[in-house]
Amino acid sequence: MSNSQMILVAGPYRSGTGDDPVKLAANVRAMNETALTLFRAGHLAVTGEALALPLLETAGSTRPGDPLYDEIFHPIAEQLLSRCDAVLRIGGPSEGADRMVAQARAEGKRIYLSLSEIPAAV
């Protein structure tokens, strides 16, 4: 029997970036690299950004924090997390990532603070 988990990778997206596109992209890359490590360990790793960013572009969002961003970005992550088994919190300060941890705790999901805490799926 597999112990594969669906894990939301939650880390900083906007925090500390001044909304600089290069810094935003670096934060997304850090979450994607973590997700790849989890995938290679047999888990289904997801990020809210992977779903929200294409929708924001399609909706016509022009910048982080605009009304479309507020409508889509965090609500997508919150819905996604509700369908996950766990959350992995990575990176530095982030109000949004901390909200994901609080939601996971409220929903009784596993909370990981390090890749080393997560067993490989069998």
Gap between the Cα atoms of 72 and 58, Å rounded: 11
pLDDT number for residue 122:
73
Give the 3-state secondary structure of residue 114. coil
Residue 78 lies in a domain: yes
Q: What total number of domains does the chain contain? A: 1
Q: What is the pLDDT of residue 1?
A: 45
Is residue 1 in a domain? no
Render 4-44 in DSSP notation, one character per residue: --EEEEE--SSTTTTT-HHHHHHHHHHHHHHHHHHHHTT-E
Residue 76, domain extent: 6-117
Which pTM does this prediction carry?
A: 0.94
Q: What local confidence, expressed as pLDDT, does residue 6 receive?
A: 98
Phi, psi of 42, rounded to the nearest 5 degrees: 100, 10
φ, ψ for residue 46, nearest 5 deg: -135, 160
- Looking at residue 87, what is its pLDDT? 98
Q: pLDDT tens digits for the chain (122 residues)?
A: 479 999 999 999 999 999 999 999 999 999 999 999 999 999 999 999 999 999 999 999 999 999 999 999 999 999 999 999 999 999 999 999 999 999 999 999 999 999 999 999 87
72 is a domain residue: yes
Residue 50 lies in a domain: yes
Residue 58 forms part of a structural domain? yes
Instruction: Decide if 57 is inside a domain.
Output: yes
- Does any domain span residue 122? no
Query: What percent of the chain is helix, strand and coil (3-state, nearest 5)?
Result: 50, 10, 35
Residue 94 covered by a domain: yes
CATH number at residue 14: 3.40.50
Distance of CA 69 to the CA centre of its chain: 15
